[in-house]
Amino acid sequence: MSDIENKRATEYAQNLSHELLTPLAVIRSKAELLLQSKDLSKEDMKNIDVILKTVERMSRLNKALILLSKIDSEVYQDIEELDVNEIVSDSLEKFEDQIRFRSLQIRYQKKDPSALKSNRNLFEILITNLIKNAVFHNIDSGKILITSDNKSFQIENTTNQTASEDLYTRFVSQGNDKDSIGLGLSIAKKICDFLGYKIHHELADNRFVMTVHFN
pLDDT at 8 over 70: no
- CB-CB contact of 133 with 95 (8 Å): no
For 158-205, write each residue's pLDDT tens digit: 998 765 556 655 444 555 454 443 566 888 898 999 899 999 988 888
Confidence at 13, pLDDT banded by 50, 70, 90: low
pTM above 0.75, yes or no: no
86 Cβ contact partners less than 8 Å away, ≥ 6 residues apart: 114
Q: Which secondary-structure segment (H or E) carries 143?
A: strand 143-148
For 117-140, write each residue's pLDDT tens digit: 999 989 999 999 999 989 988 999
For the sheet with 105-110, list strands across it: 105-110, 143-148, 152-158, 207-213, 198-204
150 Cβ contact partners less than 8 Å away, ≥ 6 residues apart: 84, 113, 114, 115, 116, 214
Sign of CA dihedral 190, 196, 197, 200: positive
Peptide bond into 23 cis (omega under 30): no
CATH number of 80-213: 3.30.565.10
pLDDT at 205: 85
SS3 call for 161: coil
Q: Give mean pLDDT, residues 140-169.
A: 84
Report CA Rg, the chain.
19
pLDDT at 210 over 90: yes
For 61-102, write each residue's pLDDT tens digit: 777 777 777 777 677 788 899 999 999 999 999 999 999 999
193-210 burial code (b ≥16 CB/10 A, e <16) = eebebebeeeeeeeebbb
According to the per-residue pLDDT averaged within each range, which of 32-36, 53-57, 77-81, 139-143 is highest? 139-143
pLDDT at 86: 93
pLDDT at 181: 39
pLDDT at 178: 46
Helices (H), the chain: 3-35, 42-72, 84-93, 96-101, 120-136, 184-195
Q: For residue 24, how far is the Cα from the chain centroid?
A: 20
Q: Give mean pLDDT, residues 52-64.
A: 80
pLDDT at 164: 56
134 Cβ contact partners less than 8 Å away, ≥ 6 residues apart: 144, 155, 156, 157, 208, 210
pLDDT at 215 over 80: no
Q: Can you name the residues that pair with 67 across neighbouring β-strands?
A: none
pLDDT at 180: 47
pLDDT at 170: 47
Average pLDDT, the chain: 82
